[in-house]
C-alpha cells in the first residue's frame, strides 16, 4: 500500500532556542531563506506524500499561515510586478493537503503521533521530525518508503552516532540483512552510554503500519516522564518485524544551536547566489 500521509509533530516549545522561540515557532527558524518546516514538507513531498498532518499547539499559528495562501502578500507582489515571487509563494500552499490537529498538552512524541490516529486511519504513514534536516539529493522519507515497499513493515531512519551521544537518541540494535538495512530487535529511548544496545540511533524519519496506534494507546510514560514513540515501537516489534535503514546524506540536528548553525553554514555554501561571497567571507573570518 502506498504511503500517502505524513505526520509532522510541531507542538514543542523549542526551549533550546529561547528567547528566539518565546513568541514564534522553532520550526519557522530559517536555513538561509526557507524555514525548517519547509524542508520537512519537501522531504515528504519528494517521497510522494499527499497529505501533511501537523500536530500543533499554542503559538504555532505561523506554520498554518506559512502553508496557506497569503492574499495580501500576493496582491502586493503583483502590484510591484514581482510575478515570479507570486508564483513561488503560491507553490508553497499548493505543495500538499494540510491538516492541523492540536496536541493540548506536551506529553511527548508518542502522545503527539497518537493524535493523528483518526486522520491517518487504517493505512501506513510517515512521521517526520523537522529538527532533523537531511542534505542529500534524495529525501530521507523516500529512502524509507523504498524499504517499506519491499517488506511492508515499519521502517525507522538510522544513523551511527558517537557513543558519547547515545543518551540523546532512541537507540536500536539488530541484524544487517542487506547493505544499510537492519532487522531490529532492541529499542531504548535515550539510554546511558553503558546501557545502550549499540550506537545506531533513530533519526527523525519513520514509516509505520497503523498497528503503531494500538501500541501508543498502551504506552505508559517513559524517559523524561513522556509517552515515547520508541517505547511503542519496541512493543510493536513483539508482533511485527521492524526494519531500520541507514539514511544516506548529511544530517543536521537543528534542534540545538550548534547543529542549526552548522546547517546554516552548509546550506549557504550550497546556495548558488550566496556561495562564492559567503565562502570568501568565512575564510576571512576564520583566519583571525
Ligand atoms: C526524538 C526521539 C528519539 C530520536 C530523536 C531523533 O528525540 O524521541 O528517539 O532519536 O528524536 O532526532 P528528541 O530529539 O525529540 O529528544
Q: Is the CB of 201 under 6 A from ligand 1?
A: yes
| The pLDDT value given to residue 59 | 83
CA angle 231, 37, 65 (to 5 degrees): 120
* Count of residues in the chain: 288
- CA pair distance 266, 283, nearest whole angstrom: 14
Domains for the chain: give ranges and CATH numbers.
5-252 (3.90.550.10), 256-288 (no CATH)
- CA pair distance 254, 259, nearest whole angstrom: 5
Q: Which residues, 6+ apart, have CB-to-CB distance to 236 below 8 Å?
A: 154, 211, 212, 215, 242
| The pLDDT value given to residue 277 | 96
Locate the ligand 1 atom nearest the alpha carbon of residue 253 and give its number.
12
| The pLDDT value given to residue 56 | 95
Scanning the chain, the segments in alpha helix (DSSP H) are 36-45, 61-66, 71-79, 83-93, 109-114, 117-120, 140-151, 212-218, 229-236, 257-269, 275-287
Locate the ligand 1 atom nearest the alpha carbon of residue 132 and give its number.
12
- Cell numbers linked to 27: 520550526
pTM, entire model: 0.95
Residue of the CA atom closest to atom 6 of ligand 1: 203
Between the CA of 207 and the centroid of ligand 1 the distance, in Å, is: 15
Q: Which of 160, 157, 186 is nearest to 244 (CA)?
A: 157
Q: Give the three-state DSSP class for 83.
A: helix
Question: Where is 167: in which H helix or E strand?
Answer: none
| The pLDDT value given to residue 8 | 98
Which residues of the chain fall below pLDDT 70? 288
Q: Is the CB of 255 under 6 A from ligand 1?
A: yes
| The pLDDT value given to residue 122 | 96
Amino acid at each position: 500500500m502506498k504511503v500517502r500521509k505524513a505526520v509532522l509533530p510541531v507542538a514543542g516549545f523549542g526551549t533550546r532556542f529561547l528567547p528566539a522561540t518565546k513568541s514564534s515557532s522553532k520550526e519557522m527558524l530559517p536555513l538561509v531563506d526557507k524555514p525548517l518546516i519547509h524542508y520537512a514538507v519537501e522531504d515528504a513531498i519528494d517521497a510522494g506524500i499527499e497529505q501533511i498532518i501537523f500536530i500543533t499547539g499554542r503559538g504555532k499559528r505561523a506554520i498554518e499561515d506559512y502553508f496557506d495562501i497569503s492574499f495580501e502578500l500576493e496582491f502586493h507582489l503583483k502590484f510591484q510586478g514581482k510575478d515570479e515571487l507570486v508564483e513561488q509563494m503560491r507553490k508553497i500552499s499548493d505543495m500538499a493537503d494540510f491538516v492541523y490537529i492540536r496536541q493540548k498538552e506536551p506529553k511527548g512524541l508518542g502522545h503527539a503521533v497518537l493524535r493523528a490516529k483518526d486522520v491517518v486511519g487504517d493505512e501506513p504513514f510517515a512521521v517526520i521530525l523537522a529538527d532533523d534536516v537531511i542534505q542529500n539529493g534524495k529525501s530521507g522519507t523516500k529512502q524509507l518508503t523504498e524499504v517499506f515497499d519491499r517488506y511492508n513493515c515499519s521502517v525507522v531512519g538510522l544513523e551511527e552516532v558517537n557513543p558519547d551521544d547515545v543518551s540523546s537518541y532512541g537507540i536500536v540494535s539488530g541484524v544487517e540483512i542487506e547493505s544499510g538495512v537492519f532487522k531490529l530487535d532492541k529499542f531504548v529511548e535515550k539510554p546511558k552510554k553503558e546501557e545502550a544496545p549499540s550506537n545506531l540511533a533513530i533519526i527523525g524519519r519513520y514509516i509505520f503500519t497503523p498497528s503503531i496506534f494500538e501500541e501508543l494507546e498502551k504506552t505508559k510514560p517513559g524517559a523524561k516522564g513522556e509517552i515515547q514513540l520508541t517505547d511503542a515501537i519496541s512493543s510493536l516489534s513483539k508482533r511485527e518485524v521492524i526494519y531500520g535503514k541507514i539514511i544516506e546524506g548529511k544530517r543536521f540536528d537543528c534542534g540545538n544551536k550548534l547543529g542549526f548553525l552548522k546547517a546554516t553554514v552548509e546550506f549557504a555554501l550550497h546556495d548558488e547566489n550566496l556561495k562564492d561571497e559567503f565562502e570568501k567571507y568565512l575564510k576571512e573570518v576564520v583566519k583571525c
